Amino acid sequence: MRILTVCLLLCSTIAVQAQKKDKKVEKIAKTITPADMKRHLYKIASKEMGGRDTPSPGQELAATYIENHFKSLGLLPGNNGSYRQYYPLYKDSMTSTSLKVDGTSFANNKDFQPASTNYSAQMLFSDAVFAGFGNTEDDYKDLRVAGKLVIVAEGNAAGQTTARINSAKITLARNKGVAALLIVSSGFPRTSAVASAWTRSNFKPMQSPLTFTISSAVAASIMGDDAKTITEKAKQGVAASKTYTKSIDLSYMKTVVTTQVSNVIALLEGTDKKDEYVFLTSHYDHVGQNADGSVIYYGADDDGSGTTGILELSEAFAKAKAEGKGPRRSIVFMTVSGEEKGLWGSEYYGDHPIFPLEKTTVDLNIDMIGRVGEEYQQSKDSGNYVYIIGDDKLSSDLFPITEQVNKTYMKMNLDRKYNDPNDPNRFYYRSDHYNFAEKGVPIIFYFNGVHADYHQPTDTPDKINYDVMAKRGQLVFYTAWEMANRNEMLKRDIKLEKPKGF
């Protein structure tokens, strides 16, 4: 009831504060055109960019394209003389590994495979403890496994075998103090090693056990004939637990590879309020290619469309300033990397802000504005809607401004279906605006909804609706213009309520 009351009050305020169109602003907004958006997006989502994975050569090409566009407009570098804000990534690279039982060596990928999360270590054990599936406390009942080598069966009692199940085995073994873990697995020999993934941090607060998946041949060398019925023994539960006396030598050596990737940032200085900031953001990364490079995930809508929106918005604001109608507050245009990996780029910016967060009045984040989402494909509003997420949070100013601007200039259907913090999609928490919201900065997230090509190789620029994309870009422009030129920064007067279990 409280939310309904607030909305009614806000709507009445909007009616009182109806605006007249500013013809000069309207003229500038209309420079955001379908043709320009198409030209940029066919470059951003091209084969040459290779899906813009974080990190990848294609992503660096995209960053250079964005930077060059900012330079061509005469925008200032956003990071102390540079258009880039770099942050480090880390990845483990194995240098050697070995597994021996009673002096007999087994071959990597043919007989065993180390986990990519292993640390560098060499361990010698005189025995190994069998702990069933190693999935539950019952599997470890009455077993003394701290500092020991433990063998477990693949999967679970229901016959399921997934990476998540193996991850749970490793976590439970770590909590039990297990030094090393052998998971008896099918599928050997294997053609390639498990690849390490890039991460934002090289710090591990708790060290997991040295972990290897092993073939039935390796299991037999330790367990003898018992290895033939290991799954059946695991299903028997704690009664099947047993210790095997063997000399087992495990080794894994690695080096840490580092690289860096960047957010691309440009600044358009304001006039009398230039020390206050409006942020316009998108992520320019996507998910790259498949393992052998034969399939490209182009990411035209996600988020080539948002990136193109930033390019067009930056050009519109630059034209306004060139014509003597620059904004009062400074505008920061930021395209970030690593969103698909876990909001890395915006998280890094939030932890290492270049412009004071307390002086950042708003972040308007654009993530997918080029398509018609599945819920609107049969609707008469399919060409005239956008999902607005977050304008009822953090600041009571946001909702009336959004409504007022839209009523004055665009008259679009602003769908707030996903504003509910308990919405199962949790879109409010899944794009880069959230790392501003966590720091208390009011945000709006512009989104067209998911569709059949979401995160598929078929998300290509030929499927974009450029007329709709330009219309949404113009809405963002008008909203940013209002927030850049109003007398006061947005109030921060609403506490964000996170959903249960978040």
Domain range list for the chain: 2-90+258-485, 91-257
How far is the first Cα of the chain from the last one, in angstroms, to the nearest whole number?
24
Q: Which amino acid is at 283?
A: H
- Bond before 205 cis per omega within 30 degrees: no
Q: How far apart are CA 383 and CA 377, in angstroms?
A: 9
Is CATH 3.90.550.10 the classification given to domain 91-257?
Answer: no
Q: Which residues of 412-437 are buried (b: 16+ CB within 10 A; e: fewer)?
A: bbbbeebbeeeeeeebbbbbbbbbbb
Topology adopted by domain 2-90+258-485: Aminopeptidase (3.40.630)
In the prediction, which pLDDT does 159 show? Answer: 82
The overall pTM is greater than 0.95:
no
Phi, psi of 386, deg, nearest 5:
-155, 145
Backbone angles phi, psi at 6, to 5 degrees: -60, -45
Q: Would you tell me the crossing angle of helices 306-322 and 466-485 to the nearest 10 degrees?
A: 50
Domains 2-90+258-485 and 91-257 share a fold: no
Encode the chain (502 residues) as per-residue pLDDT tens digits.
334 334 434 444 444 345 789 999 999 999 999 999 999 999 999 999 999 999 999 999 999 999 999 999 999 999 999 999 999 999 999 999 999 999 999 999 999 999 988 999 999 999 999 999 999 999 999 899 999 999 999 988 888 888 888 889 999 999 999 999 999 998 899 887 777 889 998 776 668 899 999 999 999 999 999 999 888 888 887 667 899 999 999 999 999 999 999 999 999 999 999 999 999 999 999 999 998 899 999 999 999 999 999 999 999 999 999 999 999 999 999 999 999 999 999 999 999 999 999 999 999 999 999 999 999 999 988 999 999 999 999 999 999 999 999 999 999 999 999 988 778 899 999 999 999 999 999 999 999 999 999 999 999 999 999 999 999 999 999 999 999 999 999 999 998 777 665 4
- Per-residue pLDDT reduced to its tens digit, 69-91: 999 999 999 999 999 999 999 99
Q: Note the pLDDT tens digit of each residue in 98-109.
A: 999 999 999 999
> CB count, 10 Å around CB of 275?
12
